[in-house]
Chain A
């Protein structure tokens, strides 16, 4: 009847202690599985480097170095040299400094917009999967509607409607436009969870709709959502770059996207100023790659069908 117990359990257990122990155990298991995947570890290392750079930007380069009025003394579009390791831009600013400060903007936009998209996508996805009636189909139509609208024009319109182009506007615009993919995925997963007998059991035990969604559906879709969100971060960073490159970004914000935009504007491509174009481009690629690697690894580790038995 009983197999030998592998867990030594203390005599008295409060539900909270049980939840804590369980969380600790599953976290350990997760860490073990994640670090067993080289791709994920590489992604994590790359990302850590960029996060570290972004966080320590004020320590590395004074904010003043970005102020065009303070850099008039420097030569513009100077190739890399001992003073400026990555050369200077058309205003004589150190490209390395702009790059490090740009990491902040790009990462903040990427993470914040992805968070909005994750919350919206999960809520709408679970809702449209759980409710079978009118509410469910309405949410599904909404998802479909956002999914089929071409992305760039929508962003252009939204950016124009929202008026002033600050960091917040860009985050909002990207967040509001990138959730339908998540919602679709969550909906599909919700439908498969809804078909499982344990949801029927929960219903019979007396769970309300809210309890069914939060206690049974959410924990089972969450791994997918997390994996998917890391992939969304990559897409959002690219989109921000695209927006900025198209001149729809915040002109006073120094992100990698605006760098690329200004570089083209300053004729970096035609004058052979590779040090202006390549660094932000490579950084975008590396960060996107890092998030993709992490996302894929999370998918493998967390996916209930591939992961835990």
Chain B
């Protein structure tokens, strides 16, 4: 296990780097700008599986979309193998041959009027790659659709949910990408099918040396396949470390709460947070988590003498690298982020 983590450690060679990324959206009814991402640093090493975890509205999907070049940052940058991402048509097209996306809902991500063959062949066609049908056959069998030929003429509605997701994955694999960004790849699938798809992702990493960035709200998924876990809250990374570090020894009160409500974790008393993630157009002052923070509410922060910091002192932004880190005033200075 530890050697596995070493394979995927950031130290190897970052494929994707995100540097102080800020993405804003115009607020609804002119309600100012919403900062969906408010300074995010991230580095994903070659062959690494990184899980981005958080509730809806935490910015994890925006981060994934920014990495694919689907959102333009207001400031900061995304780098792929050291090169900043270009946003021109040609540069993006070339980039997306190497970085692909798998979406949550396989039913929605397949055009209902395209057959399996056409859905998988679309990428190679767009990029004018040679040997289209050979690529399709190979991608389908890599994704576990065997024998591929029997599925060529099927329409998405003739497939099961698991098969559809495999076809979507094959569509990405047909381009021989180096990185796959998967947004909730199994959350709309049946529980018994979920394990098979996750096993497929692990297997693809082994066989094709793929780098995977998985966006999810599911800590169990992270435990199943991820080398590293990045927890996000309201546009910022709040905790970052190897999966074992973060899940066995969570530092941030938000991570602790998320972990405690996983139904399997019955030995832990569940900490159900009140309320929901606030609107990112109205970010609380100080630590953005303090209005919902159980440690702040219980007086733990007061006892540690940092309650005033929680309320009003802006936390430094976590850096992209450097072991297990958490953005919380309660976390001892030794583990605290290096101010930038």
Query: Which residues of A are interface residues toward B (Cβ below 8 A)?
Result: 1-3, 5, 7, 9, 11, 13-15, 18-19, 21-22, 25, 196-198, 200-208, 211, 215-216, 219-220, 304, 308-309
| Residue contact A197 to B109, C-beta cutoff 8 Å | yes
| Residue contact A206 to B133, C-beta cutoff 8 Å | no
Q: Contact flags (1/0) for B9-37 with A, using CB distance below 8 Å?
A: 00000000000000000000000000000
Using Cβ atoms and an 8 Å threshold, which residues of chain A touch B121?
A: 15
Partner of B171, one of A9, A201, A215, A216: A201
Bound: A11/B281 CA distance, A: 57
User: Chain B's nearest CB lies how many Å from the CB of A21?
Assistant: 6
For B193, the closest partner residue in chain A by CB is A1
Tell whether B218 is near chain A: CB-to-CB under 8 Å.
no
Partner of A204, one of B101, B111, B118, B152: B101
| Residue contact B100 to A207, C-beta cutoff 8 Å | no
Using Cβ atoms and an 8 Å threshold, which residues of chain B touch A14?
A: 133
Partner of A197, one of B89, B105, B115, B153: B105
Tell whether B157 is near chain A: CB-to-CB under 8 Å.
yes
| Residue contact B115 to A18, C-beta cutoff 8 Å | yes
Total B residues in contact with A, Cβ cutoff 8 Å: 43
Using Cβ atoms and an 8 Å threshold, which residues of chain A touch B228?
A: none
User: Chain B's nearest CB lies how many Å from the CB of A280?
Assistant: 42
User: Chain A's nearest CB lies how many Å from the CB of B147?
Assistant: 9
Partner of B96, one of A2, A206, A219, A309: A206
Bound: A223/B110 CA distance, A: 18
User: Chain A's nearest CB lies how many Å from the CB of B130?
Assistant: 13
Using Cβ atoms and an 8 Å threshold, which residues of chain A touch B111?
A: 198, 202, 215-216, 219-220
| Residue contact A13 to B133, C-beta cutoff 8 Å | yes
Tell whether B323 is near chain A: CB-to-CB under 8 Å.
no
| Residue contact B96 to A205, C-beta cutoff 8 Å | yes
| Residue contact A219 to B113, C-beta cutoff 8 Å | yes
The 10 closest A-B pairs by CB, nearest first: A197-B108, A197-B109, A204-B101, A205-B123, A206-B93, A206-B126, A309-B157, A197-B103, A198-B111, A201-B109
Bound: A15/B119 CA distance, A: 12
| Residue contact B70 to A204, C-beta cutoff 8 Å | yes
Using Cβ atoms and an 8 Å threshold, which residues of chain B touch A204?
A: 68, 70, 96, 100-101
Using Cβ atoms and an 8 Å threshold, which residues of chain A touch B171?
A: 201, 205
Q: Please judge, given known A-B contacts A9-B152, A18-B153, A22-B153, whether A220 and B108 are in contact too, CB under 8 Å.
A: no
Main secondary structure of the interface of A (DSSP, over half): helix
Using Cβ atoms and an 8 Å threshold, which residues of chain B touch A19?
A: 118
| Residue contact A203 to B150, C-beta cutoff 8 Å | no
In the complex, 12 of the A-B residue pairs with CB atoms within 8 angstroms, ordered by the A residue number, are A1-B144, A9-B152, A13-B149, A197-B105, A200-B103, A201-B109, A204-B68, A204-B100, A208-B93, A211-B126, A219-B113, A308-B155
| Residue contact B150 to A205, C-beta cutoff 8 Å | no
Using Cβ atoms and an 8 Å threshold, which residues of chain A touch B70?
A: 200, 203-204
Residue of A9, A11, A216 with most chain B CB atoms under a 10 A cut-off = A9
Using Cβ atoms and an 8 Å threshold, which residues of chain B touch A15?
A: 117, 121, 132-133
For A22, the closest partner residue in chain B by CB is B115
Partner of B157, one of A201, A216, A308: A308
| Residue contact B126 to A207, C-beta cutoff 8 Å | yes
Tell whether B112 is near chain A: CB-to-CB under 8 Å.
yes
Tell whether B328 is near chain A: CB-to-CB under 8 Å.
no
Using Cβ atoms and an 8 Å threshold, which residues of chain A touch B282?
A: none
User: Chain A's nearest CB lies how many Å from the CB of B110?
Assistant: 6
> For window 101-145 of chain B, which residues contact chain A by CB distance below 8 Å?
101, 103-105, 108-113, 115, 117-118, 121-123, 126-127, 132-133, 144
User: Chain A's nearest CB lies how many Å from the CB of B282?
Assistant: 26
Bound: A25/B162 CA distance, A: 25
> For window 145-180 of chain B, which residues contact chain A by CB distance below 8 Å?
146, 149-150, 152-155, 157, 160, 162-163, 168, 171, 175
**Apart from A15-B133, A205-B126, A308-B155, 5 more pairs, CB < 8 Å:** A19-B118, A21-B153, A200-B103, A204-B70, A206-B127
| Residue contact A202 to B122, C-beta cutoff 8 Å | yes
Q: Please judge, given known A-B contacts A205-B96, A205-B171, A308-B112, whether A18 and B157 are in contact too, CB under 8 Å.
A: no
Partner of A9, one of B104, B108, B149, B175: B149
Bound: A236/B155 CA distance, A: 37
Partner of B108, one of A196, A208, A211: A196
Partner of A304, one of B108, B112, B132, B162: B112
Tell whether B97 is near chain A: CB-to-CB under 8 Å.
yes
Using Cβ atoms and an 8 Å threshold, which residues of chain B touch A211?
A: 126
| Residue contact B97 to A5, C-beta cutoff 8 Å | no
Bound: A36/B337 CA distance, A: 69
Q: Please judge, given known A-B contacts A15-B132, A22-B153, whether A201 and B93 are in contact too, CB under 8 Å.
A: no
Bound: A196/B113 CA distance, A: 13
Bound: A273/B92 CA distance, A: 73
| Residue contact A207 to B153, C-beta cutoff 8 Å | no
| Residue contact B117 to A200, C-beta cutoff 8 Å | no
| Residue contact A18 to B117, C-beta cutoff 8 Å | yes
Using Cβ atoms and an 8 Å threshold, which residues of chain B touch A304?
A: 112
Using Cβ atoms and an 8 Å threshold, which residues of chain B touch A22?
A: 115, 153
For A220, the closest partner residue in chain B by CB is B113
Using Cβ atoms and an 8 Å threshold, which residues of chain A touch B154?
A: 7
Q: Please judge, given known A-B contacts A18-B152, A204-B96, whether A198 and B108 are in contact too, CB under 8 Å.
A: yes
Bound: A208/B126 CA distance, A: 8
Using Cβ atoms and an 8 Å threshold, which residues of chain A touch B101?
A: 200-201, 204
| Residue contact B133 to A198, C-beta cutoff 8 Å | no
> For window 38-96 of chain B, which residues contact chain A by CB distance below 8 Å?
68, 70, 89, 92-93, 96
For B124, the closest partner residue in chain A by CB is A205
Bound: A13/B92 CA distance, A: 32
